[in-house]
Structure 1
Amino acid sequence: MKQYKEAMPHGPLQEVFKDVFFVTGTMKNEFFGSMWQFSRNMTIVRENGNLTIINSVRLNDAALSELDRLGKVTNVVRIGDMHGVDDPFYVDRYQAKFWAMPGMRIQEGLTVDKELREGGEMPFGNCTFFEFKTVARPEGILRLDREGGIMIACDSLQNWVEPDQFFDEETVPTMEKMNFFKKAGLGLAWLHESQPKPEDFERLKKVSFKHALCGHGYPLKHEAQEEYHKTIAQFFNL
């Protein structure tokens, strides 16, 4: 009998754009020698009644019933090497196809059905993939060609404007001191782990988009491209 990570506290499923859903949940992990508790997000894209889960967060039973009413889960997509603990639960529950980038550290028992590559097959239509090519750990961004361009990111792009209800009291001061809370930020733990080079962000600046749904923080609507360009300039002088 497989053991899955238990569902942790999470918020409601929200339809942030037509057929694009977003839910914020909880993560506990060790960083820099101590345990942190913070929020993380899952995005769900619906196309022709089929659902694609990106940045999986296990839902409780009531929310799973709501998910089932939205459509049929056919794909589970991993776009960040530092996420993925709940991928096995969804792949097994729905017998879904599992998508991941080459070289990712896959959860035990999972098999990659489809490899995510720039210019390759995508889990749904009107979608392209951006790959960070200079990083130590695989990371990418899905660009959904709806609403002027929606970037679905994992750890690279974040929008943690402030701590939310899924943080614990011990973690917040540490993250405040380290300047994690910033509109249209880059993931600080991701930068530390993956060491991306400026050329990745030079390529990213050529991608057109209006909105961003990230693995951490609030949805950023309408002004996402301008805001991330400001942040990239601050970090990489580009």
Structure 2
Amino acid sequence: MDQFTPALPHGSLEEVFPDVFFVTGSMETVLQQMDWQFSRNMIVVRDGERLIVINSVRLDEDGLARLDQLGQVTDVVRLGCLHGRDDAFYVDRYKAQYWVLPGMESEVPAEAVRILSSDGPLPITDASLFVFATTGIPEGILRLERSGGILIACDALQNWHAPDEYFSDTSRALMQEMGFFTPANLGPVWMQAASPAGEDFTRLKALAFKHVLCGHGQPLYETAHSDFSDRFNRVFGV
């Protein structure tokens, strides 16, 4: 019997940049003693013949067949402390290396775990890592040196314009009230849990990027730097 959390409904893997793939699926969890159902995104980066899975979402058999057509999964990256539900499935299925930030708990066997750091090795050759320094929980963002600069975020940066088909009615209404459906946003639950300071966003704003792929919401193309810089200024005055 499969020991891992089951695959939930999801869409198809789409190539949003050369060798960068994006898929939206559903998440079911309990937060603040309430049942939630909403959408989340997985990003897959192809580096040669290797595939690096970021913000994992377990795919069904058809989705896994499509993934296997793209290359060989060799690495799984966890950028956010509040994600990770499906990481162990991919690490086990593909015997992949598992990359986490210091302080992240993991159910993956220790021999598969590698620690992410901004000055250490990364599984993607043209990537760099931004690590939040002021937060109460670990969180990072990858930057790809391609297409003018692509950020891959988890919970800190979100770009939900509107609820999609993966939301329950209850979660849709509640998250509307909480301000989740705001383009180029900072994740409301993440802000509460992480309590970041403005200095992190001053550093983030200094990076060169045009696009952002978030753990929640739609891809933000071309105007991502200016759109998120405006958000940082409104929230933190930086």
TM-score (norm 2): 0.97
Distance 1:28 1:208 in 2: 34
Q: Does 1:87 pair with 2:117?
A: no
SS of structure 2 residue aligned to 1:200: helix
Distance 1:138 1:75 in 2: 19
**Residue aligning to 1:107:** 107
Q: For the Cα contact (< 8 Å) 1:140–1:153, is it kept in 2?
A: yes
Please state how far the C-alpha of 1:112 moved relative to its aligned partner: 5.0
SS of structure 2 residue aligned to 1:234: helix
**Residue aligning to 1:56:** 56
Q: For the Cα contact (< 8 Å) 2:91–2:108, is it kept in 1?
A: no
SS of structure 1 residue aligned to 2:169: coil
Q: For the Cα contact (< 8 Å) 2:41–2:215, is it kept in 1?
A: yes
Distance 1:218 1:126 in 2: 23
Q: Does 1:229 pair with 2:229?
A: yes
Q: Percent identity?
A: 48
Superposed CA deviations along residues 12-32 of structure 1, whole A, max 9, x for unmatched, are 100000000000001012223
**Residue aligning to 1:165:** 165
**Residue aligning to 1:149:** 149
SS of structure 1 residue aligned to 2:215: coil
Distance 1:79 1:96 in 2: 16
| Residues 111/87 of structure 1: CA separation in 2 closer, same or farther (3 Å cut) | farther
Distance 2:108 2:144 in 1: 29
Distance 1:2 1:54 in 2: 22
**Residue aligning to 1:209:** 209
SS of structure 2 residue aligned to 1:16: strand
Superposed CA deviations along residues 118-160 of structure 1, whole A, max 9, x for unmatched, are 1211111111000001111100000000100000000000001
Distance 2:176 2:110 in 1: 36
Q: For the Cα contact (< 8 Å) 1:159–1:216, is it kept in 2?
A: yes
Please state how far the C-alpha of 1:110 moved relative to its aligned partner: 5.6
Superposed CA deviations along residues 181-201 of structure 1, whole A, max 9, x for unmatched, are 000100110000011111111
Q: For the Cα contact (< 8 Å) 1:80–1:139, is it kept in 2?
A: yes
Where has structure 1 moved over 2 Å in runs of 4 or more? 107-113
**Residue aligning to 1:119:** 119
CA RMSD of aligned residues (A): 1.2
Distance 2:227 2:169 in 1: 29
**Residue aligning to 1:186:** 186
